């Protein structure tokens, strides 16, 4: 199983921005987002709690984010976490987040 610390990221042609709330670490580098900023900040907080508790396995981060989004925002959310993956999907409007945290990518989305 991979831990969320060592691999390096390849550069992306997509421009990126960073959430401006410096009081919460780790910082999120946004790649594509079609949702409210509240969901990004919520995801960042969940990831921070996991990292501080020592849970850095990709599968653990994905499971916790999925469960938390299901409970907090309703419906069934899906989450992919890793350093290398491809995706082609259709998501509900206003329900897609794709960002980097440290050395790993996180994709969270809701489908029909």
Beta strands 28-34 and 17-18, pairing class: antiparallel
Please give the tally of structural domains in the chain: 1
Query: pLDDT tens digits for 1-20?
Result: 444 432 222 333 343 444 44
3-state SS of 10-58?
CCCCCCCEECCCCCCCCCEEEEEEECCHHHHHHHHHHHHHHHHCCCCEH
62 part of a folded domain = yes
pTM: 0.76
The two tokens of residue 14 are: 């997509």
Contact of 96 with 32, CB cutoff 8 Å: yes
11 part of a folded domain = no
Closest CA to 92 of 104, 68, 108: 108
65 part of a folded domain = yes
Query: pLDDT tens digits for 30-82?
Result: 999 999 989 999 998 999 899 888 888 899 999 999 999 999 999 999 999 99
7 part of a folded domain = no
């Amino acid at each position: 199983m991979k831990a969320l610390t060592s691999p390096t990221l390849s550069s992306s042609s997509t421009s990126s921005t960073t959430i401006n709330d410096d009081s919460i670490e780790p910082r999120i580098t946004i790649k594509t987002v079609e949702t409210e900023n509240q969901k990004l900040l919520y995801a960042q907080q969940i990831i921070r709690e996991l990292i501080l508790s020592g849970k850095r396995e990709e599968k653990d981060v994905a499971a916790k984010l999925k469960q938390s989004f299901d409970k907090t925002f309703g419906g069934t959310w899906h989450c992919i976490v890793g350093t290398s993956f491809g995706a082609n999907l259709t998501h509900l409007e206003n329900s897609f987040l794709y960002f980097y945290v440290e050395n790993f990518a996180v994709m969270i989305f809701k489908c029909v």
